[in-house]
Amino acid sequence: MPTSPLVRAVLIFVIGLLVLAGGAAAYLWTLPPKPGGYVSSSGTALVGGPFELIDQTGAVRRDGEFRGQFMLVYFGYTYCPDVCPVSLTNMSTAIDMLGDSDPSLADQVTPIFITVDPDRDDTAALAAYAEHFHPRLVALTGDMDQISAAAKAYRVYFAKVEDDSASDYLVDHSAIIYLMGSDGAYISHFPHNATPEEIVSGLRRRLTS
Ligand code: NI
């Protein structure tokens, strides 16, 4: 097919453009992805965060209302046979010991219990349970989505465990007492078997009289 020099020149020009465009596309394809989009660990533990739950009186409680207070946060469940009662007792005893020496120190700390078993731990169950511990204990429940969100924020693991020998199920869960600062940020944590004395000394280092 005869073609005029002008048509040939246009064709060569268009093919040249296509080659350039293809080269540019291939180049962009091989570029590494831009950084950003997520924040990697900067050395500060990313524990804690917003929650919206219901306390043992039926009132809605949000984490933001505790700003200005230190929080001792513990996740567990009222049917827990051993670990939870000990942890909550030690938390409560620690706050009382602090209060015996200086009530203004104890008043800075709010003990918080968040259930990982909302199916059984309704507000009535929490109200009965909380009476065994500190009078200022805030015991929280919610629906499973709210509980899961709070547990995830605090990096708490929990899972139902079927026990053939028991008529009821158990809940396997992390047992850590978190100390959160007056700004809501994570400060430190205690193991579930920390003694009241150990919790008191940990609190004293952070509280100001
Ligand atoms: Ni427990």
**Of all helices (H) and strands (E), which one includes residue 141?**
strand 138-141
3 state SS for 41-106: CCCCCCCCCCCEEEECCCCEEEHHHHCCCEEEEEEECCCCCCHHHHHHHHHHHHHHHHHHHCHHHH
Transcribe 151-206 into DSSP letters: HHHTT--EEEE--TTSSS-EEEE--EEEEE-TTS-EEEEEETT--HHHHHHHHHHH
Distance 42 CA to ligand 1 centre (A): 31
The closest alpha carbon to 109, from 76, 140, 134, belongs to 134
What's the length of the chain?
A: 209
Distance 163 CA to ligand 1 centre (A): 15
Distance 165 CA to ligand 1 centre (A): 18
pLDDT digits over 157-183, tens only? 999 998 777 678 999 999 999 999 999
- 44 confidence band (pLDDT: 50, 70, 90): low
- Flag whether pLDDT at 22 surpasses 70: no
Strand partners, 63: none
Distance 30 CA to ligand 1 centre (A): 51
Distance 175 CA to ligand 1 centre (A): 7
Distance 204 CA to ligand 1 centre (A): 26
Across residues 197-207, what is the average pLDDT?
95
pLDDT of residue 16: 59
Distance 77 CA to ligand 1 centre (A): 6
Question: Does this model's pTM top 0.85?
Answer: no
**Of all helices (H) and strands (E), which one includes residue 138?**
strand 138-141
- Flag whether pLDDT at 40 surpasses 60: no
Per-chain residues with Cβ under 5 A from ion ligand 1: 76, 80, 83-84
- 34 confidence band (pLDDT: 50, 70, 90): very low
Across residues 189-203, what is the average pLDDT?
95
Distance 153 CA to ligand 1 centre (A): 18
- Flag whether pLDDT at 28 surpasses 90: no
Distance 136 CA to ligand 1 centre (A): 20
- Flag whether pLDDT at 127 surpasses 60: yes
Of 185 and 7, the one with more pLDDT = 185
**Of all helices (H) and strands (E), which one includes residue 115?**
strand 109-115
Of 29 and 89, the one with more pLDDT = 89
- List Cα–Cα distances, 164 to 121, 161, 167, in angstroms: 21, 10, 7
Distance 22 CA to ligand 1 centre (A): 61
Distance 190 CA to ligand 1 centre (A): 15
CB of 169 closer than 8 Å to CB of 143: no
